[in-house]
Structure 1
Amino acid sequence: MPKSSHLASQGMSHQDVLARMREMRTDDARWQEGRTWSLVYNAGEELRRVAAEAYTEFMSENGLSPLAFPSLRRFEAEVLTIAAELFHGDTAAGTMTSGGTESILMAIKTARDFARAERGITEPEMVLPASVHPAFQKAAHYFGVKALNIPVGADLRADVDAMRAAIGPRTVLVVGSAPSYPHGVVDPISELAALAQERGVLLHVDACLGGFLLPFARRLGHAIPDFDFAVPGVTSISADLHKYGYAAKGASVVLYRTPELRRYQFFTFAGWSGGLYASPSMAGTRPGGAIAAAWAVLKYLGEEGYLRLSRQVLDTARALREGIAAVPGLKLLGEPSLSIFAFSSDTLDVYALGDAMEARGWKLDRQMSPPALHLMVTPAHAAVVQSFLADLRACAALLASGAPAPDGSAAMYGMLGSIPDRAQAEGFLLQFMDGLYSAE
């Protein structure tokens, strides 16, 4: 057996392993300080500890077999019941998944198989607003469902008339977001659902981001449009527990209006010499820790806890939006009213602005079409509103004066945004990913 240069002949001590890991994370995003505006949904150390201890308690259990681990089956069933109640799904049924992408994959696989069995469609299509998460494009690629990407309206929401025109005899699914990730606006779900019913197709609501925020925002008096199973015609919903549910990664739910529809998600195989095989979702092994931690966080917070965190998030987001809109040269995109939004500029290079902010320790996502910077607000950001806005004002003023921005990703985003051939841009991304996953 050839010797590995990376697998040492002798193991390290427990203390040395942890010390080395902590050393390797020194350049990671500083999410604990509220300086990261995506990827981590930080609701404080106490809640993180609850999730971590619950996860560790069930770290070795495998949710593939509810017969071997009935505790996990009960945890999952209770999580799904809570989600169904939040989304007005009296008859809803679903499963937990590893995250929003798997939930979306399962919803599209279900729609494809339902349409094949019930309508005889063998070359399926789905109609999407162009703002939907790329997981829908991934699902189209994986499952052979043609994605028809429809430009959004001037308000950045799904264009119902344009989507109506795109529905044809092969359409198996229409999709709306609540809210869309790029701009934080909720698509007109009621109108899309009526359209789907009119044309006899399924409608999926991607609430991966907002699912565990919107119901509590409504109870706090925010004007939240109908988006869930209370809307006739909504047939499935995806919602991430590890976002505003504050559970450990990776935990999401996908729910269907009826158990009969959910059956098209399941995979069963009775011809294996290893025994009968049944899998509820994409994954085989399903980490018990993620299921247990989701249950623990839901039980720990309760309705009061979610209302408290939601109020903090929404108040913080409003203060940030107002502060950003007051910075000369900056403007919000659309009319976001929740916890995620993007801002752009007609006079400043926002990618250079992002690099200038990153030099001060702030991690903001970059967006294209149009160039913009993106924020996703969590409870941890309540403590940094003023310092963030002060740095933003200072960086914007420096760029407006003609001062150069620090080196960063501005050149790459500017170059990629200017390439008219998307295949060429995607080729660059493939090359970039090859480099990222090299141990060297």
Structure 2
Amino acid sequence: MNQAEVLKQLSEKLKRDLTYTSGLILGSMCTKPHPFAKEVFQKHLEKNLGDPGLFQGTVEVEREAICMLASLMSKPDAPGFIVSGGSEANILALWSARDKLNKRQVVASASCHASIDKAAALLGLKLVKAPVTEEGEVDVDAVRRLINDDTAAIVSIAGTTDLGVIDPIPELSELALSYDIHLHVDAAFGGLVIPFLKELGYKVPDFDFKLQGVASITVDPHKMGMVPIPAGGILFRDEESLKPLSFNLPYLSGGPALQYTITGTRPGASAIAVWALFKHLGREGYRKVVARCMELTEIIAIEVERIPKARLVRKPVMNVVGITFDGVKVEAVAEKLRRRGWAISTVRGFIRIVVMPHVKLRHITRFMRDLKEILREEV
């Protein structure tokens, strides 16, 4: 089959896929890659960080990209790696905690991402979950009560999947220090939002290495960082935390090397794209992206409060909005929205909207119009 025919068949099959450009995807924490990051990524597809001796320049670029991420997390010298995503990052963090402390219990928020459940299953850990408050933050007293002599780690969240809520991480940091256990912060989404919210004057708590109890942080450039998938990030406070993850590979073409990630072959293009886009946009560029997303988030919040039968689950902390309804079934509303083409999430009895960089004002205007029409039909 010639290339033209292959591409024709492929195009037909992929017509069913939604696109971020359409603006219909309002429930995803991923977004359309930035054009510059996409261009850079495509130029470096052959780079393999799994064989560092062959790609020494790419290794240096990854180190610098990690330094850029770590600087945003208040510790420029924090070691880490660009990995496949938040799931791999969370697994690595709990793997390190387990073997470093030789303990097998993890205490996490009931709002933790599914990857924490996966990590516990893969690592043979006992996962216990603490309830959350009405505002969606983990209950610190409940966490304290769940800690025992076998607790290796606490998992906190900086930007929950359902509402974008930030756990009281300063308090959890003190708790981790007092019990000498590993505090992991899953900031896969919020890690590239919260630093810029602070710069924009929003009142948000500390969540990063500024807090002495924080031992590791997950932050994903392929979410609000607008880097092509896959591009997750894992950062540790110190080199000591890397030791449990270290494996010697003597057979590599570029010479023997230590590996610290789950995947062996690892796309260097991801790290290169992170480096390039961070250099291009800088803090000012990302701050503008976050500011625009928050402006649209606030427009949604204002419009929801004007709709009879609709209300916010809580005031948005970042660019995630929860909408619930009085006297109307959420599932029925969500189904009608989907029939109109909208890709939205339903979580714990509400609709979740994530205002990513691909979302424009015209998309929000159209969505709110459709929501109002559907609610009029349902009432």
Q: TM-score range by the shorter chain?
A: over 0.9
- Counterpart secondary structure, 1:297: helix
Residue in 1 that maps onto 2:375? 396
Matches within 5 A, 1:311-350: 311-350=291-330
The structure having more radius of gyration, on CA atoms, is 1
- Counterpart secondary structure, 2:192: coil
Give CA deviations for 1:137-193 in whole Å, capped at 9, x if unaligned: 000000001100111122210100000000000000011111111121110000011
Q: CA deviation at 1:90?
A: 4.4
Residue in 1 that maps onto 2:79? 93
CA separation in 2, counterparts of 1:191 and 1:130?
17
Larger deviation, residues 384-393 vs 22-31:
22-31
| Contact persistence 2:85–2:220 (CA under 8 A) | yes
Residue in 1 that maps onto 2:366? 387
Amino acid at match of 1:287: P
Residue in 1 that maps onto 2:273? 293
Gaps of 5+ in 1: 1-11, 401-440
**Percentage of pairs with the same residue:** 30
CA separation in 2, counterparts of 1:80 and 1:314?
26
Matches within 5 A, 1:250-329: 250-268=230-248, 276=256, 278-329=258-309
CA separation in 2, counterparts of 1:74 and 1:353?
50
CA separation in 1, counterparts of 2:13 and 2:29?
19
- Counterpart secondary structure, 1:216: helix
Matches within 5 A, 1:222-261: 222-261=202-241
Residue in 2 that maps onto 1:372? 350
CA separation in 2, counterparts of 1:385 and 1:17?
37
- Counterpart secondary structure, 2:343: coil
Of 5, 9, 18, 1:29 maps to 18
Gaps of 5+ in 2: none
Matched, 1:204 2:184: yes
CA separation in 1, counterparts of 2:53 and 2:229?
24
- Counterpart secondary structure, 2:214: coil
Give CA deviations for 1:307-336 in whole Å, capped at 9, x if unaligned: 111110111111112212322212222332
| Contact persistence 1:107–1:265 (CA under 8 A) | no
TM-score, length-normalised on structure 2?
A: 0.95
- Counterpart secondary structure, 2:318: coil
Matched, 1:61 2:36: no
Q: CA deviation at 1:40?
A: 6.0
- Counterpart secondary structure, 1:344: strand
Paired residues, what number? 377
TM-score, length-normalised on structure 1?
A: 0.82
Amino acid at match of 1:336: P
- Counterpart secondary structure, 1:173: strand
Amino acid at match of 1:38: G
Q: CA deviation at 1:269?
A: 5.4
| Contact persistence 2:53–2:255 (CA under 8 A) | no
CA separation in 2, counterparts of 1:327 and 1:25?
37
Of 151, 174, 196, 1:171 maps to 151
Q: CA deviation at 1:278?
A: 2.9
| Contact persistence 1:318–1:337 (CA under 8 A) | no
Higher RCO structure, 1 or 2 (CA under 8 Å, sep 6+): 2
CA separation in 2, counterparts of 1:132 and 1:205?
10
| Contact persistence 1:64–1:285 (CA under 8 A) | yes
CA separation in 2, counterparts of 1:349 and 1:30?
28
Q: CA deviation at 1:39?
A: 3.4
CA separation in 1, counterparts of 2:51 and 2:118?
28
How much is the aligned-residue C-alpha RMSD, in angstroms? 1.9
